[in-house]
Amino acid sequence: MAHSALESVPLLPGGLSSLVHPSMRPDTLSKDRTFKIFSIIWNASPLMPLLIILPIAFLVTVLKMNGILIFTTNAIACAVLSVVLGKCTEDLSEHVGPTFAAVLNATLGNVIELIVSFYALKAGQFDIVKSSMMGSIFSNLLLVTGCCFLFGGYNRIQQRFNLTAAQTMSSLMAISCASLAIPTVFVATLPTKLDESADILKISRFTSIILLIVYGLFMIFQLKTHISFFDNSEANAIVSKASEETMENPENVLGKKECCVILAITTYLVSMSADQIVDKISDVAEAGLSKSFIALILIPIIGNAAEHVTSVFVAMNDKMDLALNISIGSSIQIALFCTPLLVIIGWIIGQPMTLQFTIFETVTLFISIFLNGYFIGDGESNWLEGVLGVALYLLIAIAFFFYPDAASVSA
């Protein structure tokens, strides 16, 4: 049965929100259904065989083996669990409709980074929190978007996308850059005889509140008032095809209760692995990698692994609007939602988290947003632009590989 609501399906970071699932059959706990659930999850991604690393990570953690081994196995486990989170979010969206699905995508799209950063925040490792947030922005703006342009355009002359939607997201990233730069510049230009700690904390908290309001208004802009800018015929074709396939084989979609249970279990497992990742960062740093490199480069790639693969896949299928909504949209989530949310959470739990970044990080963020805005400014992309984006990301990664930690500098 055709659904007229297809014309208003929003494109959101992390995937497509689709219509209410046609079957809506109640979940069961039968033996056959249990095996079917495992089959659905196992076939969700080619990465799923790596779930075998989960018991290995648990074993090496319980036995308190080498810190680097604990970090590595738990990092791989988080990357695979992110695929499970994405599958459950997508299937749950089938049951709850597009509006609530938007909230799910916004909340769960970067859940791994949020969990890792929360544990670092509780431990007072503010540099790790800030670097992981900044690294997620770099990763999505340059690496993911660059790969989308590269792999989507290697056999095409040009790929086109909705210019209005892309420029809107670019504008949001610009205000994000400004809001994250202002506290840093404030401290850098303040006379040294003044104590900036109290003022920078107040500025960060008030700025975070404003950014969360802006993100909420962007959700309204995207979902309600200007939905046509974020909706396109190609994406609707994907939804229509997916809906038809779902009707033909509804068994391939998890039930609502099943999604909720699996989400809860997966989130718990991610939190356990994230705790170990944060705890063993120092061990990895002692092996030669700086904490800045681990937080800026490694953790974002781990947390966004499934999202990266999805965006590149849809770009290869010439669905650039959806690909950019995933890559750039995820950067907006980090800058306007996750980062200020962590500042507010720190305020609540008594941790003085601020938006003060290093000058190097701030300048690098400005360059990344400038280059990304230049790429999408004409509404077209090609493979060479993708190469340039990936190249800049590699240059940033090399720079942070040699960038010393604050502790080592002060020592």
User: Could you tell me the mean pLDDT of each successive run of 10 residues in the chain, 411 residues long?
Assistant: 40 39 47 75 74 86 84 85 76 62 58 82 87 86 88 84 78 83 79 64 89 87 71 44 45 74 84 83 80 83 73 80 79 87 91 87 87 82 88 91 64 41
- For tokens 């730069």, the residue is 181
Q: Which of 86-123 are b and which e, b meaning 16 or more Cβ less than 10 Å from the residue's Cβ?
A: bbbbbbbbbbbebeebbebbbebbbbbbbbbbbbbbee
Interatomic CA distance for residues 304 and 315, integer angstroms: 16
Question: Given this model, what pLDDT does residue 392 score?
Answer: 92
Question: Among candidates 72, 110, 95, which has minimal Cα distance to 287?
Answer: 72
* pLDDT digits 0-9 by tens, 81-132: 877 877 777 777 666 655 455 456 556 667 777 888 888 888 888 888 888 8
Determine the number of helices (DSSP H) and then strands (DSSP E) in the chain. Answer: 20, 4
Record the pTM: 0.76
Torsion on CA atoms 300, 51, 245, 88, rounded to nearest 10: -60
Domains identified in the chain and CATH numbers: 19-404 (1.20.1420.30)
For 372-389, give the DSSP string. Answer: HHHHHTTSEE-HHHHHHH
Question: Given this model, what pLDDT does residue 370 score?
Answer: 86
Say whether 12 sits in a helix, a strand or coil: strand
Question: Given this model, what pLDDT does residue 6 score?
Answer: 37
* pLDDT digits 0-9 by tens, 231-275: 544 444 444 444 444 444 556 677 777 778 888 888 888 888 888
